[in-house]
Amino acid sequence: MYKDLKNKVAVVTGGSKGIGRAVAERFGKEQMRVVVNYNSDAQQAAEAVQAIEAQGGQAVSVHGDVSSEAGVQGLLDAAVQQFGRLDVWVNNAGMEIKSPTHELSLADWNKVITINETGVFLGAKAALNYFKAHHQSGNIINMSSVHEQIPWPTFASYAAAKGGVKLFTQTIAMEYAKDGIRVNGIGPGAINTPINAEKFADKAQYDQTVAMVPMNRIGKPEEVAAGAAWLASAESSYVTGITLFIDGGMTLYPAFKDGQG
Ligand code: NAI
C-alpha cells in the first residue's frame, strides 16, 4: 500500500478486463477514485467498479473509444465531474492483429496504430492539458510491451506502435519534467489476460511462450498492476521516462540462458 495514493483520482483506459482491470482494482485497494474506461464490455466494467468499491475505493465506469478525441475527453470530464480532479492517467487500452506484413491491410495497420499509439497520445494530451491548466504535478503511465524492444514478426503494426509509445513516453517525460509531471511506461511480457486466451488455451503455444521466459512461467495481471501502483505513487518520485519491464526476464535474450553463443 502507498499511503499517498489514497483519494487520488485515476483514469484507466481499457479497464474492464485483463491488465487494465487489475490496475483499476489495485488502485481501488489503494483507496483511490477510479474512472474505469471500457469500449465494448459494459458488464465487465460494472463488475470492476463493484470490485473497487468492495475494496474501499470509489469508481465509475465510462464508455469511450481511446482512438477518438471526444471519447478521451469524456474520460477526463468524468474524472472531474465525479471526483473533482485528476492525478493519474493510465493509457492501457490496446489490441493486436496477427498477419504476415506483406498481407497486412492498410485498414488493419491503421487500426492497431490508432488504438495502441494514437490512443496513448490522445490520453496523454488530455492529462497534460489538465495538469498544465491546474498548475499541478501529475502522473502518466503508458502500457507498452516487451515488443517496444523485441521485434515480433507477423505483428509488425503492434511492434511499431509499441516502439512509438516508447519514444513518445521518453519525449514527453523530458518535455514536462519541469512541470512536475512524470511519464513512464510499463513493458509487460507474457501475461495471462484475454488478449492471450486463445494462444494459451493451446498447450503447445503455451509451452512455447513459457520457454521464452527465464522465470519459466506466465505473468499475472496483478504483477503488472503492482508496477503501476509503484509508478503512480510517490515511492517512485525520482523516476521518469523509463519503461518498467515486468516480464520474468523475457527481455534478457533467453536464447543465451545456458551460456550459448
Ligand atoms: P485485453 O484484451 O485483456 O484488454 C485490452 C483492453 O483494451 C480491453 O478492455 C479492451 O476493451 C480495451 N480496448 C481495446 N480497444 C479499445 C479502444 N479503442 N478504446 C478503449 N478501450 C479499448 O488485453 P491486455 O492483455 O489486458 O492488454 C492491456 C495492455 O497491455 C495493452 O496495451 C497490451 O498491448 C499490453 N500488453 C499486454 C501483454 C499481455 O501479455 N497480456 C503483453 C504486453 C503488453
pLDDT per residue as tens digits for the range 120-141 = 999 999 999 999 999 999 999 9
List, for residues 144-203, the tens digit of each pLDDT value.
999 999 999 999 999 999 999 999 999 999 999 999 999 999 999 999 999 999 999 999
Say which range, 4-13, 76-85, 225-234, 252-261, has the weakest mean pLDDT. Answer: 252-261
Residue of 106, 30, 20 lying closest to 64 (CA atoms): 20
Q: What is the ipTM of this complex?
A: 0.99
Sequence-ordered list of residues with C-beta below 8 angstroms from that of 74, at least 6 positions apart, any chain: 62, 63, 64
Q: 245 CA distance to ligand 1 centroid (A)?
A: 16
Does residue 196 line the site of ligand 1, with CB under 6 A?
A: yes
Q: Which CATH number fits domain 3-247: 3.90.340.10, 3.90.79.10, 3.40.50.720, 3.30.950.10?
A: 3.40.50.720
Ligand 1 contacts CB of residue 44 (under 6 A): no
Q: Cell for 43?
A: 458488464
The pLDDT of residue 92 is 98
pLDDT of residue 95: 98
**Whole-number percent of the chain with pLDDT over 70:** 100
The whole-number pLDDT of residue 20 equals: 98
How many whole angstroms from 111 Cα to the centroid of ligand 1? 13
Domain ranges, ordered by start, for the chain: 3-247
d(C-alpha 143, C-alpha 23), whole Å: 11
Task: Note the pLDDT tens digit of each residue in 192-226.
Answer: 999 999 999 999 999 999 999 999 999 999 999 99
Radius of gyration, CA atoms only, the chain: 18
pLDDT confidence band for 85 (50 / 70 / 90): very high
Mean pLDDT of all residues belonging to the chain:
98
